[in-house]
Amino acid sequence: MSAPETAGARQRAGGLTPVVVAVVVTIAVLVWLLVDTSVLYLGYLGNPIAMAAGVFACQRIAREVRLSRPVRAFWRRLEHAGVCLLVGAVVALLRANNNTGLSPYVGVPFLIGLVLLISAFLMLPGPKRTAVGWIRALLDGATVAVASGLIFWYAVLDLAPEGTSMVGRIAAAVIGMGGILLLVVIGKAAARRESMVAPGALRVLAAAPIAAITGNMLLIAGDDWSRLALSVLAVPLIGVSFCVGALIQRRALSAGQPQESALSHRSLLNLLPFLAVTATAGLVITVSAQEMTSRQRTVIIGAVLIAGFVVARQLLSLRENTMALKGIQRQQAELERMALSDSLTGLPNRARFGAALAERISAHQPATAMLIDVDDFKMINDTLGPAAGDQLLYQVSQRLRERCEAGEMPARLGGDEFAVLLPVDEAEPAEAAAARLLLALADPFRVGDQMLLLHASAGIAPADTGESADEVLRNADIAMYAAKESGKASWVRFEPRMRQDMVNHARLASELQNGIIRGELRLLYQPVFDLVTGRLHGAEALVRWQHPTRGFVSPGEFIPVAERSGLIVPLGAWVLREACTQLARWRSSFGAGAIEAINVNVAVRQLREAGFVDEVAAVLSDTGLVPANLILEVTESSVIDGWQVRETLQALHEMGVRLALDDFGTGQSSLSLLRAFPVDVLKLDKSFVDGIADGEDRGRLAVAAAVAQLAEHLQLKAVAEGIESQEQVDRLRDMGYRYGQGFFMAKPLPADECGALMAADPVRAA
């Protein structure tokens, strides 16, 4: 056994020893009572021993630092009450041979003990009472006190043995009343749902007042033997209840406080005042039967009947209240359930997910949050309608539910955002789970009569030490955005540097927004040349941002930020209009000398906007251009983005706008893509052009050649990008490239310099 285990065992034994002592003593006293009572003080000896064990147990638990301060204070007060009872027990032992039943020397310490006991329960912290609550509690207490007082007073007056002194009678009556009051107080404390002392302990402690009440009854009304039985058994029983109560409190400490409904105890408890009234009525009837005239008796019977009716009526409304309370509790439970789950999918919602994650974190259990976002869900919702969107989300939730393994908790955080709580903290199993769940979402979904192919991106963040559930979720969110950025249908594991990137991007995005408003953007035009004739053929519009303090910001830096923040939509709209306006100007200035078409880059985010086709048409008609004057450059990744984007591209093609596949060869270039798409131009990526001149990189060389052949077969225009030398020009031309652009021929130029090239073109000018 290890050291902490031994300590734990010792602690448990420490709780058990007083219980054993008190119980053994009580049994011994019982045996003494039943077998031979001739040596009186032997019987009385049990009282102080059992009570000392009780005091010891209370003292031990009161020193338990793991308990809250009010609970410790409660056990300390109990200990003090126990000391008073112990004093009374010692006095009783000393006077054992002088047995006159009731003695003030015994009664007074007992009474003080009782008052301390009541105060211990009364001072337990509970919910704040309202004024009405206080009045109700006082009324209940007063009813019980008056009734028990009357009964005891009558019993003491009538039934006590002849020689009982006045002080003794009063003490007996007060102890009896106090016992009943204590019972009420303990009951109320135990019935409190948020009771801080272990409820089991409170219930066991109720044995003390029950012993006091029955004891008093026996003391007053019983025969000699029962009076003796009480004198020697009541205190040991109280001692046992202290010891067992302390033990239960200790056990509750190591098990964690259980939450139990207190409603049933509460309704029983509410009956106590009525019991008191009924008992008093019984007393009145008994007394009146013995001592009154028939007229007086009639009045009394009438009064008792009326009291009975009032009690019955009260009981009825009490029952109604209890039923209403139960209904409210049921509703509350239902509301709680609803508040913690998502109404569409039935999965746990964000609140529930956050709570479960926080729970694992605080229990130091391994946990990883995985955030899954359905790419382009908004588009589906916009085009197919919210009902289809809901259906899709429901099916996604079903798949997640089916493919989650034991211990994993899927949840819907809202919109198209799902999450899974994984019970692991290592990278490998978390990534395996991500792969498994994303794969589950890769199969087509049937919505109505449509089959939809979804892509989802996932971010994985382990719960690292010291991070809250919110922070872990935020990390997963950041990782998910990184996954979206890295190309879709993938997962990314969170790394701390991503957080800084995120902050930088957010800052850049807000500055870019201002930049667009303040007109800090402008366009440059990179000429595209005919490699055979050497003449100007076209131009690509490239956006530039001149930031007032940062200076020149490269599009490679701000375009991705614009895409992520959605700013690309207004930015792209401005670029499109500006580029078309410029072409219209050139065409009116240089006529046939001007280029025929302008190339404009379009981000996938723009293509996903429902009104994009209309916007293009409007710009063309506003600037007086025809669709043949415009070439939109899109990347391969946007072409595979989804059927919505494909439809947009198809509509543009049908309008007569030409489409160029930009950076061709770098993405997931597939031949079927080219066949399925209305593509007009292939732009070979610069990286392949780079590899051409040195002739070292045979792979790239082969790709460059293949793309040229492919373009020829499919009757597409092939344009080589990023040409930086004459040698590259020669080889590309030999391969079959008719057009090219690059710093070797011209860098991106301001509009007037580009216009000057058009004016200088002899053939066009003629």
Q: How far is the CB of 627 from Mg ion (least distance, A)?
A: 19
Between 349 and 599, whose beta carbon lies closer to ligand C2E? 599
Helix (H) or strand (E) holding 553: strand 551-553
Rounded to an integer, what distance in angstroms lies between the CA atom of residue 608 and that of residue 431?
Answer: 30
In angstroms, rounded to a whole number, what is the distance separating the alpha carbons of residues 385 and 320? 49
What's phi and psi for 737, nearest 5 deg? Answer: -80, 125
- The distance of Cα 559 from the centroid of its chain, to the nearest Å, equals 36
Determine if 195 is a binding residue for ligand C2E (CB under 6 A): no
**Rounded Cα–Cα distance for residues 409 and 406 (Å):** 8
226 within 8 A of 218, measured Cβ to Cβ: yes
Q: Which stretch binds Mg ion (CB under 5 A): 309-317, 590-598, 630-638, 737-745?
A: 630-638
Amino acid letter at 212?
Answer: A
Determine the 3-state secondary structure of 111 from DSSP: helix
Q: Which does 543 bind (CB under 5 to 8 A by kind): Mg ion, ligand C2E, none?
A: ligand C2E
Residue type, 446: R
693 binds, among ligand C2E, Mg ion, none (CB under 5 to 8 A by kind): none
Number of residues that bind Mg ion (CB under 5 A): 5
Structure tokens at 729: 């020009």
For 472, residues 6+ apart whose C-beta sits below 8 A from its C-beta are 357, 361, 367, 369, 461, 462, 463, 464
In the numeric block, which tokens belong to residue 284?
A: 């009145």
Q: Rule CB under 5 A: is residue 416 a binding residue for Mg ion?
A: no
In this chain, which stretch among 238-246, 565-573, 640-648, 661-669 interacts with Mg ion, using CB under 5 A? 661-669
Strands (E) across 310-380 are located at 368-374
Stretch that binds ligand C2E, among 288-296, 381-389, 597-605, 673-681 (CB under 6 A): 597-605
Closest to 612 in 3D by CA, of 665, 666, 651: 651
Query: How many alpha carbons fall within 13 Å on the CB side of residue 350?
Result: 9
* Tokens standing for residue 192: 């409190």
Determine if 743 is a binding residue for ligand C2E (CB under 6 A). Answer: yes
In whole angstroms, give the CA distance from residue 221 to residue 274. Answer: 25
Q: Is 740 near ligand C2E (CB under 6 A)?
A: no
Which of 379, 681 has the CB closer to Mg ion?
A: 681
Question: Binding segment for ligand C2E among 94-102, 256-264, 310-318, 717-725 (CB under 6 A)?
Answer: 717-725
Query: Using the rule CB under 6 A, is 555 a contact of ligand C2E?
Result: yes
Q: Measured from the CB atom, is 555 or 570 closer to ligand C2E? A: 555
Residues 6+ apart with CB under 8 A from 569: 605, 606, 609
Q: Assess 636 for contact with Mg ion (CB under 5 A).
A: no
Pinpoint the alpha helices (H) of 528-640. 555-565, 568-590, 604-607, 612-623, 636-639
- Which is closer to Mg ion, CB of 342 or CB of 721? 721
CB of 551 to ligand C2E, least distance (A): 15
Q: Which residues pair with 715 in a beta bridge?
A: none
Interface residue with ligand C2E, options 222, 245, 348, 572 (CB under 6 A): 572
Q: Which residues contact 267 (CB under 8 A, 6 or more apart)?
A: 318, 322
Span of 248-256, 270-278, 374-382, 548-556 interacting with ligand C2E by CB under 6 A: 548-556
Determine if 391 is a binding residue for ligand C2E (CB under 6 A). no
Q: In degrees rounded to 5, what are phi and psi of residue 526? A: -95, 120
Minimum CB distance to ligand C2E smaller for 199 or for 572:
572
> Any idea how long the chain is?
766
* Closest-CA residue to 404 (of 376, 424, 383): 424
Burial letters 357-373, b for 16+ CB under 10 A, else e: bbebbeeeeebbbbbbb
* Contact present, 370 and 458 (Cβ < 8 Å): yes
Task: From the list Mg ion, ligand C2E, none, pick the one residue 572 interacts with, judged by a Cβ distance below 5 to 8 Å according to partner type.
Answer: ligand C2E
Beta carbon nearer to Mg ion, 479 or 541: 541
The binder of ligand C2E chosen from 163, 258, 519, 556 (CB under 6 A): 556
β-strand partners of 659: 632
In 255-310, which ranges are E strands? none
The item of ligand C2E, Mg ion, none sharing an interface with residue 370, based on CB under 5 to 8 Å by kind, is: none
Q: Does 477 bind Mg ion (CB under 5 A)?
A: no
Beta bridge partners of 460: 370, 493
Q: By rule CB under 5 A, what string of x and - marks binding of each residue 601-620 to Mg ion?
A: x-------------------
Q: 500 contacts which partner out of ligand C2E, Mg ion, none, CB within 5 to 8 A by kind? A: none
Close Cβ partners of 384 (under 8 Å, ≥ 6 residues apart): 447, 448, 450
How far apart (Å, rounded) are the C-alpha atoms in residues 103 and 82?
19
**Beta carbon nearer to ligand C2E, 377 or 545:** 545
Q: Which of 107, 168, 742, 755 binds ligand C2E (CB under 6 A)?
A: 742
- Of residues 195 and 741, the one with the C-beta less far from ligand C2E: 741
Pick the stretch among 108-116, 215-223, 447-455, 554-562 that binds ligand C2E (CB under 6 A): 554-562
| 420/684 with CB nearer ligand C2E | 684
748 binds, among ligand C2E, Mg ion, none (CB under 5 to 8 A by kind): ligand C2E
633 binding ligand C2E? (CB under 6 A): yes
- Choice between 468 and 687, CB closer to ligand C2E: 687
Stretch that binds ligand C2E, among 18-26, 509-517, 736-744, 750-758 (CB under 6 A): 736-744
Nearer to Mg ion, 349 or 599 (CB): 599
How many Cα atoms are found within 13 Å in the side-chain-facing hemisphere of 276?
A: 23
CB 102 within 8 A of CB 171: yes
Q: Which tokens hold the place of 228?
A: 């003796």
In the complex, minimum distance from the CB of residue 662 to Mg ion, in angstroms, rounded to a whole number? 4
Give the contact letters, 298-317, x = binds to ligand C2E (CB under 6 A), - = no: --------------------
* Residue 515 lies near ligand C2E (rule: CB under 6 A): no
Kindly tell me which of 397 and 582 has the beta carbon lying closer to ligand C2E: 582
From the list ligand C2E, Mg ion, none, pick the one residue 526 interacts with, judged by a Cβ distance below 5 to 8 Å according to partner type: ligand C2E
Handedness of CA 106, 112, 118, 123 (dihedral sign): negative
Answer yes or no whether residue 724 interacts with ligand C2E by CB under 6 A.
yes
| DSSP-assigned letter for residue 348 | B
User: Smallest Cα–Cα separation from 422: which of 491, 489, 516?
Assistant: 491
For position 603 contacting ligand C2E by CB under 6 A, the verdict is: yes
Q: Indicate which of ligand C2E, Mg ion, none lies near residue 216 (CB less than 5 to 8 Å, by partner kind).
A: none
Q: Does 601 bind ligand C2E (CB under 6 A)?
A: yes
Assigned token pair, 447: 């919505």
The residues in 528-547 that bind ligand C2E, with binding defined as CB under 6 A, are 542-543
Give burial (CB, 10 Å; 0-12/13-18/19+) of 333.
Answer: exposed
Q: Is residue 662 a contact residue for Mg ion (CB under 5 A)?
A: yes
Question: Is the CB of 178 or the CB of 722 nearer to ligand C2E?
Answer: 722
In this structure, which amino acid lies at residue 47?
N
> Residues touching ligand C2E: how many (CB under 6 A)?
23
Binding map of ligand C2E across residues 648-667, x = CB under 6 A, - = no contact: --------------xx----
As measured in angstroms, the least distance from the Cβ of 745 to ligand C2E is 8
User: Of the listed pieces 152-160, 429-437, 505-513, 632-640, which binds Mg ion according to CB under 5 A?
Assistant: 632-640
For residues 640 and 673, the answer to whether their CB atoms sit within 8 Å is: yes
| Distance from C-alpha of 616 to C-alpha of 116, rounded to nearest angstrom | 87
**Which pair of structure tokens corresponds to residue 443?**
């199969």
- Contact stretch for Mg ion (CB under 5 A) within 93-101, 457-465, 574-582, 714-722: 714-722
Give me the residues that bind Mg ion (CB under 5 A), please.
601, 633, 662-663, 721
Give me the residues that bind ligand C2E (CB under 6 A), please.
526, 542-543, 554-556, 559, 572, 575, 601-603, 633, 662-663, 721-724, 741-743, 748
